[in-house]
Structure 1
Amino acid sequence: MKLLLDFFPVAIFFAVYHYTKDMILATAILIPATLVQVGIIWFKTRKIEKMHVVTLVLIIVMGGATVLLQDKTFIQWKPTVVNWLFAAAFLGSYFIGSKPLIQRMLGGQIELTQPLWNKLNAYWSIFFIAMGAVNIFVFSYFSEEAWVNFKLFGMLGLTLVFIIAQGIWLTRHIKTDQLEQD
């Protein structure tokens, strides 16, 4: 259910765009859809994750600029900005706090050596940087419709491939006694 809720605004944007072929209208509908998403999350959990706050703010700011200025470039840059902010958070975690961000997120579920946590954090940083760059490439060199399709299917597909690859990498490095306990 959480995954469906996370993709609700993107799915609405995609549906409106494919029905109307109007990115400005799709963006105008994306803004309240994201507000509804965050409202539902808050209502159900009484808390909102930082990722949702960052995404909401960027959709309001960049989506608002898209609608007000009638310029789709702002909304096309949003995935890049989000991904690069996540990359900055992962990279910044080497300097702020005692553990890399990925270790703070997953440290309660798996046990790795510190060098492996650092590598995993670096892989996530590289992934987010690359996703931002690929987004720029797609909206710069492909049609508007191709970018909309990439935003939903391409980014989701690349993320799933990365998570599966990360899972395979992790299974090679998780301590054997941890696997036997589970």
Structure 2
Amino acid sequence: MKFLFDLFPVILFFGVFKFAEADKTKALEWVTLYLSSFMADSALQEKDAPIVLATAVAILASLVQIGYLLLRHKKVDAMLWLSFAIIAVFGGATIYFHDDTFVKWKPTILYWCFGLALLVSQLFMKKNLIRTMMEKQVSLPEPVWPRLNLAWIVFFAVMGVLNLYIAFNYPLDTWVNFKMFGSMGLMFAFIIGQSLFLSKYMKDEQ
């Protein structure tokens, strides 16, 4: 359930974009009606309406996520705050300038922030964040934890580069599909590969 909750903005972004792509005239009407006051000028082209509308919905969805947790007096994870801040800034720029370049950078910035947090914590704070999150669930030999942390750093770095490559070398629709399915599939594949790698160490420990 938490997995779907975390993906709520991405799912809405994808759904709204596909709906708006199917009827760009209607999407332009809605953007003009509800978002024109947030844009630098009113010269929005019909082809740009779907990404602007989808971005606005993603920002709103992220805000709803945080509001829901606060109303229920639950802790808002730092990653959720970071994700909201990035989509608000880069998504807001996409709406203001009606330019999809900014929102295309959002996943990359988020991936690189995650990777940088892992790297800085390990090098300067001598704290392995992956270990902090996982050691209650799994017991691993001491030398494995730094390697696991490094694997996540590399994964986030590669995902950031891959997002930019897809975003700026393929049509917008391809990037939206990759954002919804490609990145999620790669994440699952990495986690499965990681689990297979760690299983032998967990058996050794037992």
Query: If the length of structure 1 is used for normalisation, what is the TM-score?
Result: 0.93
Give the ranges of 4+ consecutive aligned residues of structure 1 lying more than 6 Å apart after TM superposition: none
Compute the RMSD of aligned alpha carbons: 1.3
Specify the alignment match of 2:10 in structure 1.
10
Specify the alignment match of 1:142 in structure 2: 170
Q: More displaced, 2-11 or 42-51?
A: 42-51
Separation in structure 2 between the aligned mates of residue 59 and residue 177 of structure 1, nearest angstrom: 42
Q: Aligned pair in 2 of structure 1 residues 157, 44: CA closer, same or farther (>3 Å)? A: farther
Residues 103-137 of structure 1, C-alpha deviations (whole Å, 9 max, x = no match): 11112222222221000000000000000000000
> 1:105 is aligned with what amino acid?
M
| Equivalent in the alignment of 1:86 | 114
Question: 2:153 maps to which residue?
Answer: 125
Tell me which moved more, 33-42 or 63-72: 33-42
Describe the superposition over 1:78-106 as per-residue Cα deviations: whole angstroms up to 9, x where unpaired. Answer: 00000000110111122233331111111
Q: 1:37 aligns to what?
A: 65
Distance in structure 1 (CA, Å) of the matches to 2:144 and 2:103: 36
Aligned-partner Cα distance in 1 for 2:203–2:64: 42
Unaligned 5+ segments in structure 2 are 22-49
Letter of the structure 2 residue corresponding to residue 97 of structure 1: M
* Contact in 1 for aligned 2:115/2:154 (Cα 8 Å): yes
Mapped to 1, the partners of 2:117 and 2:126 lie a distance apart of 14
Counterpart contact for 2:141–2:205, Cα < 8 Å? no
Q: Given residue 13 of structure 1, which amino acid in structure 2 is its aligned partner?
A: F
Please name the residue that 1:107 is paired with: 135
Q: Are the structure 2 counterparts of residues 177 and 120 from structure 1 closer, same or farther at C-alpha, using a change threshold of 3 Å?
A: closer
Report the Cα distance in structure 1 between the residues aligned to 2:77 and 2:130, rounded to whole angstroms: 15
The aligned counterpart of 1:56 is 84
Is the Cα contact below 8 Å between 1:66 and 1:73 reproduced in 2? yes
Q: Give the number of equivalent residue pairs.
A: 178
Which of 83, 94, 98 is 1:66 aligned to? 94
Q: CA deviation at 1:46?
A: 1.7
Q: State the structure with more CA Rg.
A: 2
Cα distance in 2 between the residues matched to 1:101 and 1:81 = 19
Matches within 5 A, 1:19-34: 19-21=19-21, 22-34=50-62
Structure 1 pair 45–120 and aligned structure 2 pair: CA distance change class (3 A) = farther
Query: Which letter maps to 1:134?
Result: L
Distance 2:82 2:74 in 1: 17
CA distance in 1, matches of 2:205, 2:173: 50
Q: Counterpart of 2:11 in structure 1: which amino acid?
A: A
Over the matched positions of the two proteins, sequence identity in percent amounts to 40
